[in-house]
Amino acid sequence: MDLQGAGAIVTGGSSGLGEATVRAFAAKGAKVAILDLAKSNGAAIAKEVNGTFIEADVTNSDQLFAAIDKATQTLGAAHILVNCAGIATAGKTLGKGEAPLDLEPFRRTIEINLIGTFNAIRLAAAKMAKNAPNAGGERGVIINTASVAAFEGQIGQAAYSASKGGVVGITLPIARDLASYGIRVCTIAPGIFETPMLMGLPEAARQSLGAQVPFPSRLGRPAEYAQLACHIVENAMLNGETIRLDGAIRMQPR
């Protein structure tokens, strides 16, 4: 699918991987709608790229339905969805004094990272299915964000790993569900990237994390995630696949 003139919706598009994707898509001529929380920097970024900002919480079905409907109308059509909205939480199954992990943070992580992703997929796919197919029969492309934690979750990452493992798990069946509509589905599983969460760590800690990556021995850059997102959109044979973007790192227990 050609990004030039395509309508793209990016959840969590106001920072980190989502922001980089918004900017990369816009640079290639796509019309972009950022869906994010009201407190985010989405409005300012949308103005910079001549895009649209729409307030949306991926866990609120009514709000997300209205946001995707508005984005589709504003863009003219929804050809691309990139799911970048998510949170990272940490907590051992048994904490201090052998106290069991509070269930609420686990439930919320699943609600945002997994159910929120599926919520956006199902609503955007309903819009894409109405698109006229291009010469190759494509009507849409959906890109999800998982993590290497889906495969090698570290100590304290049960909730995060479960949520991202779920994203990996739904990729192929949804690609099969939507194949007859000409809608492709892929997932990117980043390693250790320069996201706002990691950039809050001391420089020494960031360098230590980067040194764990076999090659290149550094943190990943959001622009590299965005570069892969662009390629997925443009390469019609990429479908039903989860692609690790991690410099060959395999996470250790801690």
* Annotated catalytic residue, options 25, 160, 181, 193: 160
3-state SS class at 41: coil
**Tokens, residue 136:** 């190759």
Q: How far apart are the first and last CA of the chain?
A: 40
Q: Strand order of the sheet with strand 242-245?
A: 52-55, 31-36, 7-11, 80-83, 140-145, 183-190, 242-245
Report the DSSP beta bridge partners of residue 145.
188
Q: d(Cα 89, Cα 12) in Å, to the nearest integer?
A: 17
Q: Which residue has the tokens 């290639």?
A: 28
In our burial notation (b when 16+ CB lie closer than 10 A, e otherwise), range 105-125 reads ebeebbebbbbbbbbbbbbbb
What's the Cα-to-Cα distance from 56 to each of 27, 45, 122, 210, rounded to whole Å? 24, 15, 15, 33
Contacts of 58 (CB under 8 A, 6+ apart): 11, 35, 64, 83, 85, 112, 116, 117, 119, 120
- Strand runs labelled E in 122-230: 140-145, 183-190
The conformational region for residue 240 under phi > 0 = left, psi -120 to 50 = alpha, else beta, is left
160 is catalytic: yes
Residues catalogued as catalytic? 160
